[in-house]
Amino acid sequence: MRQPNDMKAKNIFRGAFLVLLISLWIFLVIHYNLVSYMIHPKKAAAFLLSFHPYDDFIFVFIQILQVLSGGIIPGAITEFIGGYLYGPVIGTIYSITGMGIGSLLAFTLSRAYGLSLVKKMVKPLTLEKYDHFMEERGTIVTLLLFLIPGFPKSALCYIIGLSRMNIWTFIIISTAGRLFGTILSSVSGSWVRDEHIVEFLVLMGILMILFLLAYFYRKYLVGITKKNQFFE
């Protein structure tokens, strides 16, 4: 009889932990008007530096909450701010660390609580569109989706938690899939800080082309991911 009680206690703890983190994120967004900070990099940098010498920990924690909240604020914005404040290398490391921890927590919580939790954290339309991941086990498929610009990666972490994917495989794929986009966002932020406007505009042009290609061919890309037998 002790094992069911232990599992129940763990589930209660996990649930309380998730509610606490999401509530804290919502409080921070509303109380500190974080949306305005995300739009104005200098304002965001000043806000984070006000917590010095703990600003780097605060930034990593914000990245964790950004993923757990289901991507209320796009990760590209927080990554940009990380590059603006800490530079392309350290900014990328901090962003990848925070998003990696957040992704692991989302994956673990989804696996512990199942579909009932995912329905609360992921938009119904997104869940319906990508519910084939409950059966999907292809690693290349998952990596492809993490690489697609503008794809709801935070939601994907919860959805993949419902699949049979090994946790270590998930960690490697989610990190590798995010790395390229995170580097670009961090570099963009550092260029804006250093007033390298020409380089920034060129990079933004390239990213816009990639985003538009991903948008216009999104149905084709998603269609590829559904060809499960090809990737396994």
Sequence ranges of the domains in the chain: 2-231
Residue pair 72/29 in contact (Cβ under 8 Å)? The answer is yes
Please report which confidence band the pLDDT of residue 232 belongs to, taking 50, 70 and 90 as the band edges: very low
Highest mean pLDDT out of 53-62, 132-141, 158-167, 212-221: 53-62
Q: How many CA atoms lie within 13 A of 231 on its CB side?
A: 15
First to last CA, the chain: 40
Residue pointed to by tokens 């119904």: 124
**What's the whole-number average pLDDT of the chain?**
75
Among 145-149, 150-154, 197-201, the minimum mean pLDDT is found in 197-201
With beta carbons less than 8 A apart as the criterion, state whether 63 and 99 touch.
yes
State how far the Cα of 28 lies from the Cα of 6, in Å rounded to an integer: 33
Cis peptide bond N-terminal to 41, omega within 30: no
Tokens of 10: 């763990």
CA 163/CA 154 separation, integer angstroms: 15
Give the Cβ contact number of residue 50 at 10 Å: 9
DSSP string for residues in 171-203 = HHHHHHHHHHHHHHHHHHHHHHHTT-HHHHHHH
Q: What share of the chain is helix, strand, coil (3-state, %, to 5)?
A: 80, 0, 20
pLDDT at 212: 63
Over residues 174-202, the pLDDT tens digits come to 899 888 889 888 888 888 887 777 776 77
Tell me the average pLDDT across 150-171: 84
Neighbours of 90 (CB within 10 A): 15
